Amino acid sequence: MARAAMGTWMDPMRAVYQRLLEAYGPQAWWPAETPFEVIVGALLMQQTAWRNVEAAIRNLKAAGLFDPATIAAAHIPILRKHVRVAGLFRTKPARLKAFCRHLLERAGGDLATYFDRPVDEIRADLLAQDGVGPETADSILLYAGGHPVFVVDAYTVRIGRRIGWFHTDAYETVQRRFEAHVPRDLAVYREYHALLVVHAKTVCRPTPRCDECPVRTRCAFGRRRRRGRARTIK
Ligand code: SF4
């Protein structure tokens, strides 16, 4: 699906997408069973490892605390007990509860209703919630809401700057660049973000392993490095 949707589009960002897909295979992101689980994961993900987020989600499920209405009504100390493993225990439980209240107020807790609105309106709502920045908002839109918006994170910026696609880390600028070049297809946007993450974690690391890189021939940094003239872009 993600591959077919690229059609005949010829663009360096397409070529890199296809090489990454061939190299790493489909990533099947986001690792969640429901859109609500995507949201909870996105809210808890800040400054912690994913395994801790998974543990917090397991705790909430085991305690019967895994729907918007129940979390919105739960006392903070109870929530804290279950999500503590995900860190920031003073802020994350309160943010989670406030976000669920927002879902109830806006759409009665029904996510299909919540996401069945213009993207700009939903994004503004998301960004107005405590602890939700552009990356979290767009992750929720893309993976929970089914809206094709390109998610930008530090990995996207690192890889894109090294390849030479842009020379900035400004969120909207990087996002616009991808959205101008990559066809707006939900499966492709989901897959592309996941592939950039896996590439950044395994090969295009802070100290990149360019010799092992599937997109080296398309990367300005990789080519400079081969000629011994590269300065590492973190
Ligand atoms: S060639 Fe090196 S810097 Fe460029 S994308 Fe590959 S690992 Fe990253």
Q: What tens digit of pLDDT does each residue of 17-71 get?
A: 999 999 999 998 998 999 999 999 999 998 899 999 999 999 999 999 999 999 9
Phi, psi of 11 (to 5 degrees): -160, 145
Q: Measured from the CB, is residue 194 less than 6 Å from ligand 1? A: no
Class for the domain spanning 4-27+151-226: mainly alpha
CATH code for the domain defined by 35-144: 1.10.340.30
Which residue do the tokens 């939700």 mark?
132
Domain ranges of the chain: 4-27+151-226, 35-144
| Atom 8 of ligand 1: nearest residue by CA position | 204
200 lines ligand 1 (CB under 6 A): no
Per CATH, 4-27+151-226 and 35-144 having the same topology is answered no
208 lines ligand 1 (CB under 6 A): yes
Residues 110-149 pLDDT 10s: 999 999 999 999 999 999 999 999 999 999 999 999 999 9
Take residue 91 and report the two structure tokens written for it.
């802020």
Q: What is the amino acid identity at position 51?
A: R
Q: Helical H runs in the chain? A: 12-24, 35-44, 50-62, 68-73, 76-83, 92-107, 111-115, 119-127, 134-139, 154-163, 171-181, 186-202, 220-226
Distance 155 CA to ligand 1 centre (A): 12
**Rounded to 5 degrees, what angle do the CA atoms 110, 35, 101 make?**
45
- Residue 202 alpha carbon to ligand 1 centre in Å: 11
232 C-alpha to ligand 1 centroid (Å): 10
State phi, psi for 28 to the nearest 5 degrees.
55, 45
The residue assigned the tokens 């492709």 is 188
pTM of the model: 0.92
